[in-house]
Structure 1
Amino acid sequence: MAKILIILDERTLYLYQNNQVVRSFPVAIGKASTPTPTGNFSIINKLKNPYNKALGTRWMQFTHRMHGIHGNNQPSSIGKAISNGCVRMYNKDAEFLYDRVSIGTPVEIRQNRRTDSKNKSGYSYYTVKTGDTLYQIAKKFNTTVEKIIAINPNIKNKNTIYPGQQIKIPD
């Protein structure tokens, strides 16, 4: 079974087959004002030659808010944090990936390698982005502000987070 892992800090998408990396691809990710969401998703829609030329030759949707993995018409954007939250690929790479994934393929998006595996203490890490609030982060990870504050002794109240800060998120 295929699986997609995206490490945002590396700007890399990994395609797994039977728990082995088949290929890795450079990608563009969301800019600070419209970040690529982190978490566990799955492919919910696929389109060949989508109507919007900015999406390149393939579209693989992974959220109901229209985040997707897709080709693009600006190859110079690959490797940058420049999109509206989608994951951009070179068209040839998007075509390769499209042919190897199906509706339901798991998509895991992590900020960095540290969050790639769960900590035995019952939490994972999240890097705060510009504009994040604890409420938004709690909602994104299906938890509460109180629970986040409880496992992060450096957070004294909901107003003491800042971009680039690593915070623990309860599992």
Structure 2
Amino acid sequence: MSYKIYLELNTRRLYLKENGITINTYPIAVGKPSTPTPTGDYKILSKILNPGGVLGSRWMQFTWSEHGIHGTNQPWLIGQAVSNGCVRMYNNDVEQVYSRVSVGTAVIIRNSFSNPGQPLNPKDPINKNKSTFIYTVRKGDSLWKISRRYNVSIQEIKTLNKLDSNTIYPGQKLLIPTRN
């Protein structure tokens, strides 16, 4: 299996792909303006199980300057630009990514991608019983409008995207469940 991690900084999303197919997408926190997350092409250099503290339950280093993808003990900050250049994830999410990738896995970081995700692979156990697509929020959108447009509940959208509030912003990528 060939995994790659794609980090889209302006939408604050991590895309985990297997053999070119997006198998899941996760909300992330990124570096603040004074200490931005670096863009470029990297590889996982090391992995640490249960580093603790601000690093949460998993650590995956991708630069020799000690930038990494890790969990957090401050989950309310996910979705914001608050770190010293690292990428923070919910502990539950980083554990899923950590279990799938190895040292040497590609990490591609850009401010934005033209097409970062595709529909999730429903055969992947992580997406069992999920059929989704990625929606890019437009100016004037609200969760209520999106939920009505695609005939899903606001709570389904919030749960799938791990949103703690109804706040969304133009350019943000949201997973939207489809009806089979």
TM-score between both structures, scaled by the size of structure 1: 0.66
Secondary structure in structure 1 of the residue aligned to 2:100: coil
In structure 2, what residue type is equivalent to 1:89?
M
Instruction: Quote the residue 1:131 is aligned against.
Output: none
Q: 1:40/1:27 Cα in 2 relative to 1: closer, same or farther (>3 Å)?
A: same
SS of 1:23 mapped into structure 2: strand
Name 2:81's counterpart in structure 1: 81
Counting only pairs closer than 5 Å after superposition, residues 15-34 of structure 1 correspond to structure 2 as 15-34=16-35
**1:114 Cα shift?**
4.8
CA RMSD in angstroms, aligned pairs only: 1.3
1:111-130 alignment to 2 at 5 Å? 111-114=111-114
SS at match of 1:10: coil
**5+ residue gaps, structure 1:** 117-171
Structure 2: gaps (5+ residues): 117-180
Q: How many pairs are equivalent?
A: 115
Aligned amino acid, residue 17 of structure 1: E
Tell me what 1:53 maps to: 53
1:6 maps to 2:14 = no
Pair 1:98-2:98 in alignment? yes
Query: How far did residue 28 of structure 1 move?
Result: 0.0
Task: Tell me by how many angstroms 1:112 deviates.
Answer: 1.2
Counterpart of 1:19, as a letter, is: G
Deviation string 1:42-82 (CA, Å, 9 cap, x unpaired) is: 000000001x4100000000000000000000001100000
Q: Which runs of 4+ in 1 moved over 4 A?
A: none
- Structure 2 Cα separation of the partners of residues 115 and 28 of structure 1: 20
Q: Deviations along 1:135-160, whole A, 9 cap, x unmatched?
A: xxxxxxxxxxxxxxxxxxxxxxxxxx
Query: Percent of counterpart pairs with the same letter?
Result: 54
Q: Which letter does structure 2 place at the counterpart of 1:13?
A: L
1:167 corresponding residue in structure 2: none
In 2, Cα distance between the equivalents of 1:107 and 1:115?
16
The whole-number CA distance in structure 2 between the counterparts of 1:32 and 1:24 is: 24
Amino acid at match of 2:75: P
Query: 3-state SS of the aligned residue for 2:108?
Result: strand
CA deviation map 1:78-101 (0-9, x unaligned): 000000000000000000000000
Letter in 2 for 1:57: S
Deviation at 1:113? 2.1
